[in-house]
Amino acid sequence: MSVPKPESTAHDAVKPAGPGRPKDLGKRAAILDVAKRLFTHHGFDGVSMDQIANEAGVSKLTVYSHFGDKESLFSAAVRAKCEEQMPSALFLEGLKGDLREQLTAIARAFFALVTSEEAIAMHRMMMLPGTGDSHVRELYWQAGPQQVKDAFGEFLRTREARGELRVAEIERAASQFFCLLKGEMHMQMLCGMCGGTPAPGDVESHIDATVELFLRAYGTDWRAPE
């Protein structure tokens, strides 16, 4: 007499796929796309895993299978958004090129990221009282701003080792660079000013001035651009 197999449980579903059970990358991408949109507009507490599964066209067990839990999915969505506009290669491809040009490329990508519609909406959402708890804000910080700052810090260390920069405190310098880039424009956008988005020429002038100030402070061979 055969013994009936036990029914699968949610716990079973979240186990990592073993050999012969490859993950469906298309479903993972669909889940991430939906998660980025829903978390941006409704915050962490305003979105359920059922919602994400329904809009992605997959089962809830599939969502858990790919991401384990809601916190992991939220972190993955934030990281994916950062990677879209500031891929890891951005900090590596120009390491042998001109320092000013590389800093400018990083600055453009960062400014485009933090002033994107999704980033502005998420920033406003995270600042609302009662939106998530400190744990959720920590998840957001580690998956987004901290990840970008760490990658830029490694870039600065590499450039310093080559003698192009003199930076006593790498983390502080990285924070200064990104805070300078946000500047008044980012605050105006958060407040609904600038008519939605600043003029492209104003953005370029702001980025050039920020890179110039950074090189004046930390560059070992600073020269005014021609």
Residues 91 and 60 in one domain: no
> What are the two backbone dihedrals, phi and then psi, of residue 219, each rounded to the nearest 5 degrees?
-75, 140
Q: What is the pLDDT of residue 118?
A: 82
Domain end, chosen from 35, 50, 79, is at 79
Q: 62 in a domain, yes or no?
A: yes
Beta strands in 128-186 (DSSP E): none
Q: Which residues pair with 165 in a beta bridge?
A: 219
What's the rounded Cα separation, in Å, for the pair 136 and 134? 5
For residues 171 and 165, the answer to whether their CB atoms sit within 8 Å is no
For residues 170 and 154, the answer to whether their CB atoms sit within 8 Å is no
Residues 96 and 192 in one domain: yes
Beta-carbon contacts of 167 under 8 Å, excluding residues fewer than 6 positions away, are 156, 160, 173, 218
Residues 148 and 64 in one domain: no
Q: What is the CATH number of the domain that holds 45?
A: 1.10.10.60
Q: 178 in a domain, yes or no?
A: yes
Q: 140 in a domain, yes or no?
A: yes
Per residue of the chain (226 residues), what is the pLDDT tens digit?
Answer: 444 444 444 444 444 444 445 568 899 999 999 998 898 888 888 899 999 999 999 999 999 999 999 999 999 998 888 888 788 788 876 566 799 999 999 999 999 988 888 888 877 777 766 555 668 888 888 888 898 999 999 999 999 999 999 999 999 999 999 999 999 888 888 887 766 678 889 999 999 999 999 999 999 986 666 6
Q: What is the pLDDT of residue 22?
A: 55
Q: What is the pLDDT of residue 82?
A: 84
* pTM reported for the whole predicted model: 0.78
Q: What is the pLDDT of residue 135?
A: 80
Domain end, chosen from 32, 53, 79, is at 79
For residue 132, give its domain range. 86-218
What's the rounded Cα separation, in Å, for the pair 116 and 110? 10
